[in-house]
Structure 1
């Protein structure tokens, strides 16, 4: 599974903004061909859309669709910029939309569902999405939010039904991408790749294309195909130079190829622009692998500072926070966060993270149950197999540990800078191939 353990609400939000905006389009025209370089910032495009829409609404305050479109744009800005003020502004806009049209307003209901998902309140997202679907059974966007909620709540059969309905209504980048993730979770990498390729083929805006390229690269990277991953990331960076997620992904390819200096350069650029927890953790691991232990420790300290910032709730605790605590000697925090997050989002990635937290705390019998649940769909996740191998080893199940280590290294020999060397060493010690 990809380094980003959870998938946020997808680019359908961008499509919804364009559709709801009373004739205004977020990104005019069709996407350029593969050889064209596009130096566009999605945040800048969204800022421009927000400004146009706010000007329009000052003149026509009764445009309930315009208010809903403004709310969706603000949600996407919040996702891109990590500025929670956008979520508050989104909520205000969506409330205005419902005040103007309280009944049958599927657009605002969908927006509230997307807002709840952005805040990692997936039970709330499910409630709003159901209301949106009831108001408009033909709304692909409502089914997109419904799919996201079901996935994060671990209700995979319902998620499959919802995404199929979304595909039937509108086979676009958002619906194909969601369907791809369903197959990825169930271990069918071939179908996941095919559907994400379709997402790329039908993409009509630069941000949709970049989104699809990013996830195609991450699918390839997760399967250990460095050349394919590098090609996808390179195309994405040619279109949007300096895009932080693509820089971080390219860094992972460089690190897997042994070019730690190039990886560190890209990761420093990515974290300067967008210091997300997963990028910072990757930077710390890469610095450690390069022998720059002091710089790695400084990065770890920065992560600790960010985790103490106010505003975290059980529903917004991220998986990476659990893994960071488990990997840095704070098992009690890891377990507490894992337990809270599992209650809020009982999906397979959270089961895996909670298993690793329990292992760090020495409760390996409980950890094994959650590790098994994390792999119950057949997800081809090298790191999840490595975690279960360590748990089985702690329980003296050498054969089980050897099998999981072999599977982890088969799926992706470069799955972790932190644990890759140990995985190979222990597999050899247990009687596996050197």
Structure 2
């Protein structure tokens, strides 16, 4: 029995050892987890790292304004409020005055509220009084372009360039000014300098505008596609998509234009130019009710005379004369408001008077506009107004300037070709009239809800006419002057790149 008791004794200690072992394992596991957790906490985070907070709206707009790119309207409002408050406390801050003035310019441009232009001028001139800077001079150039005062824009822009030649944001304003004055050679030179100083989406978009004016539509479209892909902010990307939509519209691609416009509005609901673009494309697609709504939406938030003119003409094409007259009254009121803010909308008013009002008044207005800023848009409008007032011989000179690829910009415009063809028909130049009317319909078969029908009717009336070659040009000679010695566009001929 003593031996049996001795044999049974080790059983209890074995159970105790197993329990102690299990305890040690649990403790070790807990300790290991704690160590592992500590190690993981000390490792650099990769996928789970918290993102940096987005910049405040005012800071986003400040970045956009400083870089000369479109900014969202709410961000602009935040920036303006912040700078106004800052300047009440620090009225001698020249840089903040320049930023505020430039932000006012953008706000006025995006809303068509020209009271912002008056505020912008006051702010920018205050900045100059405190300290002369290329930033303030460039802001004044941008303001003058927004007001369609291209001579003043050129003056301010060239002063800014002289003061600080390597400030790249000066050159877009110079390009706009030179283009508005019909100086396409200078515009190309400014673009070349811009591309030497800077690259990126804003420069691509600017290059696209110059390429479009030269008739290089494929190159322009490629630049805008790259600009939209590289844009950092939604408002900037929406602006480039709107311009791409406009290019698609000009070449008669209704569906592609509509896609671009719709995407621009989806990204930035305040992109009113894209909403008006939707109106054009939808009308061409026969979706009239949607087109009318798109135009009304654009006009409600950005009451530009151009939108009122387009909507009025759409109503006319539908036989709704009273509704059209309402829009034309709105157009006149918008022109008056613009003039109160120092903005020049005489071009649109002249276009309206030529077709729907008093052609003689259109001629007077557009002659004065031509003296101020002889760009090809003014040449086309003046030529058409002269035709509508029965002065076809002189009308031909200006219509040919608008479509002249040597002295002009080379832009491929269905409207310009249509105007030239109709003036030639009235001048009994049947063969060139037929060619130019056909060209208008090839460029964009839906360029106008009323003029397309008129072009087709004119072609039917012309029938088959012999091609007698191009008429002798009575436009500008090699000196850059027309038959009566008036300067036309560039003073020196420029050989354009072939259209591709």
Please classify the TM superposition score into its range, dividing by the shorter chain length.
0.7 to 0.9
Secondary structure of the residue aligned to 2:339 is: coil
Residues 68-147 of structure 1: matches in 2 within 5 Å?
Answer: 68-102=98-132, 105-147=133-175
The alpha-carbon distance between structure 1 residues 24 and 64, as it changes in their structure 2 partners (threshold 3 A), is farther
Q: Is the 8 A contact 1:338 1:354 kept in 2?
A: yes
Q: Is the 8 A contact 2:194 2:203 kept in 1?
A: yes
Q: Is the 8 A contact 1:315 1:341 kept in 2?
A: no
Residues 350-429 of structure 1: matches in 2 within 5 Å?
Answer: 350-377=378-405, 378-429=410-461
Match of 1:240 in 2: 268
Shift of residue 235 of structure 1?
0.8
Is residue 284 from structure 1 mapped to residue 312 from structure 2 by the alignment? yes
Per-residue CA deviations over 1:272-303 (Å, capped at 9, x if unaligned) read 22222111112112222223232223222333
| C-alpha distance in structure 1 between counterparts of 2:116 and 2:303, whole Å | 18
Secondary structure of the residue aligned to 1:26 is: helix
Shift of residue 94 of structure 1?
1.7
| C-alpha distance in structure 2 between counterparts of 1:87 and 1:307, whole Å | 15
Is residue 26 from structure 1 mapped to residue 61 from structure 2 by the alignment? yes
Match of 1:60 in 2: 90
Q: Is the 8 A contact 1:126 1:146 kept in 2?
A: yes
| C-alpha distance in structure 1 between counterparts of 2:422 and 2:195, whole Å | 40
The alpha-carbon distance between structure 1 residues 178 and 28, as it changes in their structure 2 partners (threshold 3 A), is closer
The alpha-carbon distance between structure 1 residues 212 and 382, as it changes in their structure 2 partners (threshold 3 A), is same
Shift of residue 309 of structure 1?
5.6
| C-alpha distance in structure 2 between counterparts of 1:143 and 1:386, whole Å | 33
The alpha-carbon distance between structure 1 residues 86 and 275, as it changes in their structure 2 partners (threshold 3 A), is closer
* Greater Cα shift, 79-88 or 394-403: 79-88
| C-alpha distance in structure 2 between counterparts of 1:387 and 1:420, whole Å | 11
| C-alpha distance in structure 2 between counterparts of 1:275 and 1:267, whole Å | 10
Residues 208-227 of structure 1: matches in 2 within 5 Å?
Answer: 208-227=236-255
* Greater Cα shift, 55-64 or 271-280: 55-64
Match of 2:287 in 1: 259
TM-score (norm 1): 0.86
Match of 2:180 in 1: 152
Match of 1:430 in 2: 462
Match of 2:32 in 1: none
Shift of residue 162 of structure 1?
0.4
Is residue 231 from structure 1 mapped to residue 266 from structure 2 by the alignment? no
2:72 to 11, 30, 42: 42
Shift of residue 42 of structure 1?
2.5
Shift of residue 159 of structure 1?
0.7
Shift of residue 218 of structure 1?
0.6
Secondary structure of the residue aligned to 1:297 is: helix
Secondary structure of the residue aligned to 2:73 is: helix
* Greater Cα shift, 246-255 or 266-275: 266-275
**Structure 1, gaps ≥5 residues long:** 1-22, 30-39
Match of 2:45 in 1: none
Q: Is the 8 A contact 2:117 2:341 kept in 1?
A: no
| C-alpha distance in structure 2 between counterparts of 1:204 and 1:154, whole Å | 32
Secondary structure of the residue aligned to 1:295 is: helix
Shift of residue 354 of structure 1?
0.7
Q: Is the 8 A contact 2:195 2:203 kept in 1?
A: yes
Q: Is the 8 A contact 1:386 1:423 kept in 2?
A: yes
Per-residue CA deviations over 1:117-167 (Å, capped at 9, x if unaligned) read 222221111111111111111111111211111111111111101012112
1:188 to 212, 216, 233: 216
| Rg (Cα) greater in structure | 2
| C-alpha distance in structure 1 between counterparts of 2:92 and 2:62, whole Å | 24
| C-alpha distance in structure 2 between counterparts of 1:185 and 1:353, whole Å | 17
Q: Is the 8 A contact 1:41 1:240 kept in 2?
A: no
TM-score (norm 2): 0.75
| C-alpha distance in structure 1 between counterparts of 2:111 and 2:279, whole Å | 21
Q: Is the 8 A contact 2:304 2:334 kept in 1?
A: no
Shift of residue 240 of structure 1?
2.3
Count of residues paired in the alignment: 400
The alpha-carbon distance between structure 1 residues 270 and 25, as it changes in their structure 2 partners (threshold 3 A), is closer
